[in-house]
Structure 1
Amino acid sequence: MDFISIQQLVSGERGERKASRFGPEVPDPGGWPMDWRLGPQEAVAREKLKSEEEKKKKLERFTSSRLTLETLADLEDLVQRRKEKRLRLRRRVPPREPEPKVTLHRTALHWACLKGHIQLVNKLLAAGATVDARDLLDRTPVFWACRGGHLDILKLLLNQGAQVNARDKIWSTPLHVAVRTGHSNCLEHLIECGAHVDAQDKEGDTALHEAVRHGHYKAMKLLLLYGAKLGVQNVASMTPVQLARDWQRGIQEALQAHIGHPRTRC
């Protein structure tokens, strides 16, 4: 078997093939024969050399592609290339459609009444702000004053001619809002200013229904004191008394379910 050195393998030099001990010397026909098979060491060396050459080529391509910022022109060229790249990316990605913005149509007076800024309310009213301006839910500033529990602002709005029995989109009145939020002082002032005690919303609930549902005992007493009716039925044919019974029954069942529970403390 003939052997060839690694140097000859890399350089491609031709040499005379030495005759094996089994036959005469055979001249090289000119190049590597098709059935030439390298030994394991030569094959490993050849693959290693190939990988090193590929690494050198990659390194050369990388160094040639990098920009050298030696002059101002090089910097301008780099900036221009980045701008072109951004433009290409923008063309590929389709522009997003703007999301619809939900506007509540609340005026500055609405927000001032909600936050309790009475000085700002005075200035807005003096500047000609509409006292019964409607937002997206058809609520006037009186609704938001009741929600925030600001009695002084509520008095100011009503003195300026605001409607005490205004209704929003679900037919609630400021009296409903005052009961839901538990502001009994606003509730009493609304009733004294002529609010309808038995006004019903779209669900047929009166302010007394809301007081029972939310468990506001003081509001319930005030409404009964000012003549709220106990027999008014809502859409579900429930009176405030029936709601109170269901509420009590639910509490009783919840308490009985936990009697004897290991986590319950006596």
Structure 2
Amino acid sequence: MDVISIQQLVCGERVERKALGCGHGVADCGGGPRAWRLGAQEAVAREQWKLEEEKKKKLERLNNSRLNLETLADLENLVQRRRKRLKRRVPPRAPEPTVKLQPQAQLESVDLEMFLKAAAENQETLIDKYLTDGGDPNAHDKLHRTALHWACLKGHSQLVNKLLEAGATVDARDLLDRTPVFWACRGGHLDILKQLLNQGAQVNARDKIWSTPLHVAVRTKHCDCLEHLIACGAHIDAQDKEGDTALHEAVRHGHYKAMKVLLLYGAKLGMQNVASVTPVQLARDWQRGIREALQAHVGHPRTRY
């Protein structure tokens, strides 16, 4: 009678004694301790084999899922697949609320006073409205000051261009016969001065007291405008009604830098004014006046040392 081990019963296996090498008179090898150890090792080996098989299958799936980027078509396919994945992941955005544009309020008509004030304050919307409605760009107030005068004084370069394009007179004169060039020099706006001169403005224009833009540039200490006027052909020794040149004005007001610029460009030291005073004599008188004023306070009880 054949003896079947417990391991064979569990595994469902039936092995003949001759195949196992166990015959009559030989101890049954199926039920001994050694058979139990072999069965446990066989189970462990079987589990390891299953794990290795699963790893091989995963590696094959991974290799099959990868793309070989050997051609441009492979790269395009990869980009398309990535885009599809992103579309799946990113939730659709909620539609943005539509903003209804409100109609702009219609500007009222701009009168002359508003037009000139807008030129001084650089309000281009009012300027455009005035010009669109057919307003005269050369309109002026009681002192004959135009919008171009105010724009030049305040330094509104774009507005100056707009007014000139609209037909503003580049040499319009106010009540003192001063053109926009005078006002640009008074404000010290070199860029606007260049604009006006490029449009044909007179560099040697004179006002009612025969002053030139050169005189104004010296009085207001704007040496950049002074130098540009000289470079554009301004008469450096031009005299006003008092006979004063720009150098007289520089000495009288103590503008050292303006004096240096004028002398550098060849201003004459011997030019006499109506009082027969040269710039050199004027400087001496100015120094003498200062010296006398200081000496008058020497020894005064209120003078502090």
Class of the TM-score when normalised by the shorter of the 2 chains? 0.5 to 0.7
Q: Does 1:135 align with 2:174?
A: yes
Q: Counterpart in 1 of 2:260?
A: 221
- Identity score, percent: 90
CA distance in 1, matches of 2:302, 2:231: 49
RMSD: 1.1
TM-superposed CA distance for 1:256, in Å, is 1.0
Give 1:228's aligned amino acid: A
Q: Does 1:177 align with 2:216?
A: yes
TM-superposed CA distance for 1:182, in Å, is 1.0
**Larger of the two Rg values belongs to structure:** 2
**CA offsets per residue over residues 172-217 of structure 1, 9 Å max, x none?**
1000000111111110110011100000011111000000111111
CA distance in 2, matches of 1:258, 1:154: 46
**CA offsets per residue over residues 50-90 of structure 1, 9 Å max, x none?**
xxxxxxxxxxxxxxxxxxxxxxxxxxxxxxxxxxxxxxxxx
Q: Counterpart in 1 of 2:282?
A: 243
Match of 1:147 among 186, 195, 200: 186
TM-superposed CA distance for 1:261, in Å, is 2.8
Report runs of 4+ in structure 1 exceeding 6 Å deviation.
none
TM-superposed CA distance for 1:237, in Å, is 0.6
Q: Counterpart in 2 of 1:253?
A: 292
Q: Counterpart in 2 of 1:162?
A: 201
CA distance in 1, matches of 2:298, 2:221: 31
Q: Counterpart in 1 of 2:161?
A: 122
Q: Counterpart in 1 of 2:233?
A: 194
Aligned length: 165
Q: What does 1:41-52 correspond to in 2, within 5 Å?
A: none
TM-superposed CA distance for 1:158, in Å, is 0.8
**CA offsets per residue over residues 231-255 of structure 1, 9 Å max, x none?**
1111111111110000000000111
Give 2:293's aligned amino acid: A
Structure 1 portions without partners, runs of 5+: 1-101
CA distance in 2, matches of 1:263, 1:253: 17
CA distance in 2, matches of 1:129, 1:187: 25
**CA offsets per residue over residues 30-68 of structure 1, 9 Å max, x none?**
xxxxxxxxxxxxxxxxxxxxxxxxxxxxxxxxxxxxxxx
Give 2:231's aligned amino acid: E
Q: Counterpart in 2 of 1:39?
A: none
Q: Does 1:211 align with 2:250?
A: yes
Q: Counterpart in 2 of 1:43?
A: none
Q: Counterpart in 1 of 2:144?
A: 105
Structure 2 portions without partners, runs of 5+: 1-140
Q: TM-score, normalised by structure 2?
A: 0.53
